[in-house]
Structure 1
């Protein structure tokens, strides 16, 4: 369809098809190390079904707060097991990190996934005290932006949110109506509008939108649209594309981690 290539990342990233395998290796090694140190709780349920579960990684001392990272994959693919290594940066700075999976389209709608991430965040918040920082990538960037909209998270959880960082988010779902993926999303215009953070007013919490400077033009647009609509911070990472922009989360000294936890 008209926008299929515009929203395709793999063909436009050198070695793009190899990234999932690389993520898997790094994530498995990270989980093995944290499990050996008794700092990983894996497969904790937050709802019904095998995908409604999260992994929780603990810092070496009492957690200063909680980071919830929500993965991407166009609401169609991947799960928490690909991304565990991205917890390294916040963990090194004393924060616990939770990574939920969620059910995928077409078995569910995007609105259902939003509700699942709200439930997951609430369940994890009951296990870790302190501030809550939310980060998500691509479709996960959409989902954490939805958490920043009044009424999506329970009030007592929303009150603890200290920063929201959508990374390369899909903030306006209306263009997806012009992609073949919509056969699986099953969006109409009303549903797309109802799930588009760019059309909503956020909670009064800090939001910083990140995107790689080398990303597809539509993702640069999507990030800018959200930053402008919300009056949010807007960071464009030089030399980064859609698949490596998230690597900053591994580095406790990175600007991304500093803003997320600040």
Structure 2
């Protein structure tokens, strides 16, 4: 369902499942853990380091596919503080089964590192694996992908060899989170000195106009008002600067099952990934 930019969205419209809190989160963690376990038993994969730190590595699934098979890179969410690649392989089955190699990225978590350090880490990862790639990320993962691409655009003089970005229920303006429990005790090390540098909605997107990749923005129908607002703003800014962005509501989904459904071949985002839409 495409998003109508002139429509007003009230909190009550989008909080049906999101507001159930801990039970939804518990179900989500259980689902992604079990599905990832099943995937790891079904498919061959290799772990490759992109840096020297313990968590600077990724798993690549579909290693028995042809060398020229297309690749999707998936970056998990978790508010930069939770989850790992071990429980984030839930998108693998339908993609590998349709001829795609899938890279599931591991990264350090806050507060072990600062969020600004984490952004640098992801830029290192992107530079390591960048080669005609599709990047897909959920929540904090979507944020990290945009930060990575922006840093690479800043340092590279050529067009990046990226085909598409798939950003799912992402966080694009950290000023909305700076004074919330997500950053309690400055757990993300986000403050007035760096919040704009860490917020994709504050980036100079004019630099992106030279790039040719598509930006696909998804947000769940039952996501929180903040996620919906930020997704709409990102689309508006991206489309204004690059004309290569599109945005879509995913019906009958909340912040969690929008990625749980990546385990299903028939799910609309999975189909977009497979068909390179």
Question: What TM-score do you get using the length of structure 1 for normalisation?
Answer: 0.85
Deviation at 1:88, TM superposition (A): 1.9
The separation in 1 between residues aligned to 2:126 and 2:27, in whole angstroms, is: 31
> Is structure 2 residue 180 aligned with structure 1 residue 175?
no
Tell me the secondary structure at the aligned position of residue 78 of structure 1: coil
- Residue segments in structure 2 that go unaligned for 5+ positions in a row: 1-14, 240-244
Q: How big is each residue's C-alpha offset from its partner over 1:15-50, in whole Å with a ceiling of 9 and x where there is no partner?
A: 43222122111101110111xxxx3113x2211222
The separation in 1 between residues aligned to 2:136 and 2:78, in whole angstroms, is: 15
How many residues align? The count is 247
Tell me the secondary structure at the aligned position of residue 122 of structure 2: helix
The separation in 2 between residues aligned to 1:108 and 1:171, in whole angstroms, is: 20
The match for 2:264 among 242, 251, 258 is 251
Q: How big is each residue's C-alpha offset from its partner over 1:97-131, in whole Å with a ceiling of 9 and x where there is no partner?
A: 10111111112122221221222233334xxxx62
Tell me the secondary structure at the aligned position of residue 193 of structure 1: coil
Alpha carbons of structure 1 residues 239 and 153: separation in structure 2 relative to 1, 3 Å: farther
Alpha carbons of structure 1 residues 186 and 124: separation in structure 2 relative to 1, 3 Å: same
> Is structure 2 residue 84 aligned with structure 1 residue 96?
no
Q: What's 1:24 paired with?
A: 33
Contact 1:68-1:132 at 8 Å conserved across structures: yes
The separation in 1 between residues aligned to 2:190 and 2:159, in whole angstroms, is: 27
- Residue segments in structure 1 that go unaligned for 5+ positions in a row: 1-5
Deviation at 1:253, TM superposition (A): 4.2
Question: What TM-score do you get using the length of structure 2 for normalisation?
Answer: 0.80
The separation in 2 between residues aligned to 1:166 and 1:145, in whole angstroms, is: 9
1:88-237 to structure 2, matched below 5 A, reads 88-125=93-130, 131-149=132-150, 151=152, 155=156, 159-182=160-183, 183-200=186-203, 201=205, 202=208, 203-231=211-239, 232-237=245-250
